[in-house]
Structure formats: structure tokens, C-alpha cells
Chains A and B, each alone.
Chain A
Amino acid sequence: MSAVAEWTIVICILIGTFLSIVAAFGVLKLPDVYTRNHAASKSTTLGVLLTLLGTLIYFYATDGEFNARIVLGIVFIFITAPVAGHLISRAAYHTGVELSERSVQDDLSQKK
């Protein structure tokens, strides 16, 4: 395995795990459902994407095997994770979960 491939793999997987940890801290620290959902759905998506990308390059560099299932997984997570976050947020809003006290504006409530 060449040094370039090795470093790319290491950087991809480390940034991926770092982003997942950041997402976990965001879920713990942020005040309400919507901001937590914002942290969880965005940074875990990118974290999992980078980890999968590192895995793809690893198997391509060591075995010479291009694993198309990982590419499909990347595309799949890239499509579905934001939609899942959107649906969770919307379900929370429609069941009347309160916004954080620090929020200044609620555009959806004025439309009712």
C-alpha cells in the first residue's frame, strides 16, 4: 500500500470518528430537540460518510477490490439521513415539543 493511500485512509477514518464524537457531544449539550437533531443528523451523516470512504479506499488499496456496496451505502445514507432528521423534527413540532427558551422566532406557529 502506498503512503498516499495510507494517509488518506487514516485521515478519512479519523475525521469520520471525530465528527461522530462531535455529534454525540452535541446531542448531550444542546438545549432542545431541534438543535440536538441538527447536530445529530448533520455531523453523523458526514462522519459515517468519511468512515465508509476510508473503508472503500482501504479495501481498494489492500485487496484491489472495488466494493460497490460501500458506494451504494454512501449514496443511501447521504439521501436518507437528512430526510430522517427532517421527519423527526417535524413529528416533534407537530406533537407540540417546546422550543428552547433562547429561541427568538417561531415562523411556523404564526401560520396557524
Chain B
Amino acid sequence: MNTNDLILQTATKIVSFIILLFSLHIFFAGHYNPGGGFVGGLLTSGAIVLLLLAYDIKTVANILPFDYRIMIAVGLLFAIGTGAGSLIFNVPFLTHAFGDFTLPILGKTSLHTAVLFDIGVYLVVVGATMTIIQTIGESE
């Protein structure tokens, strides 16, 4: 059967960018509003799954050349690294620090090391979800 996915693919091109932007918003809003690394990661993998639905696995692997198992490892390293970093300053494991900084473009922002931990959660969630889905999708 000759199928033509033009409408789905064109809609995906626009919609996946909206989902990716919203996942970034959810990720960075996590400290003061509902959101955080987990939902942000799930939304990002949702956008990639939409790309997988509209195109095939090889095309998506060309667009996003990530090895998702390495992504899980990097995420765990981020999480452990923020935890172990507190040991350098002679405070208990996983003690977080924050401070107000004046950045060149953004102006006065408060930076918190919990964001680094959240990046770890985000990477692990994206990596685990995409590993599961790609492993199931590739087996025939």
C-alpha cells in the first residue's frame, strides 16, 4: 500500500520544536514552579518519539546522533559529581550551594548547584526512555 505521510511529517516539524521548547521551560522552571528534570526529560523524549513516529529510526538517528546508553552514564556522572563536589568543601555529601551572580547578558541571576543535579536526572530520563523505545522498535 502506497502511503504518504506528508501531513504528519510537516506537522511534526513544527510541533516537535514546540514540545522541545516547552520541555526546556519545564526543566528550568522546576525550582520555583511545577516541573523539573523528570517531566522535562519525559517531554524531550516525547518529542523524539514523535519524530520516530513520523520518520523512521535511521533518519532520527541521523538527525540526533546520540548514544542514549552513554547519555545515561553522563547523567549519572553529573548527579554523582554534584554530590561529590560538596566533599571538597568539607561539608556532607550532596550538600548544595547557591548564590546570586551578575551575568553579562542575563543580569542578576541566582545559580544553584541543584540545577546540575537536575541535568543529571534529565539526561538519565531521556536516555532510559529512548533506550527502551529504540530497543523495542528495532527488534523484529
| A interface residues (Cβ-Cβ under 8 A, vs B) | 69, 72, 75-76, 79-80, 83, 86-87, 94
Residues of B within 8 A of A76 (CB): 15, 18
Residue in chain A with minimal CB distance to B29: A69
Residues of A within 8 A of B66 (CB): none
| B interface residues (Cβ-Cβ under 8 A, vs A) | 1, 3, 7-8, 11, 14-15, 18, 22, 25
15 A-B pairs with C-beta separation under 8 A: A69-B25, A72-B18, A72-B22, A75-B18, A79-B11, A79-B14, A79-B18, A80-B15, A83-B7, A83-B8, A86-B7, A87-B7, A87-B8, A94-B1, A94-B3
Most buried by A among B1, B3, B11, B14: B11
Number of residue pairs spanning A and B whose beta carbons lie under 8 angstroms apart? 21
Complex Cα distance, B11 from A75, in Å, reads 12
Residue in chain A with minimal CB distance to B12: A83
B13 to chain A, nearest CB (A): 11
Q: Are B1 and A80 within 8 A (Cβ)? A: no
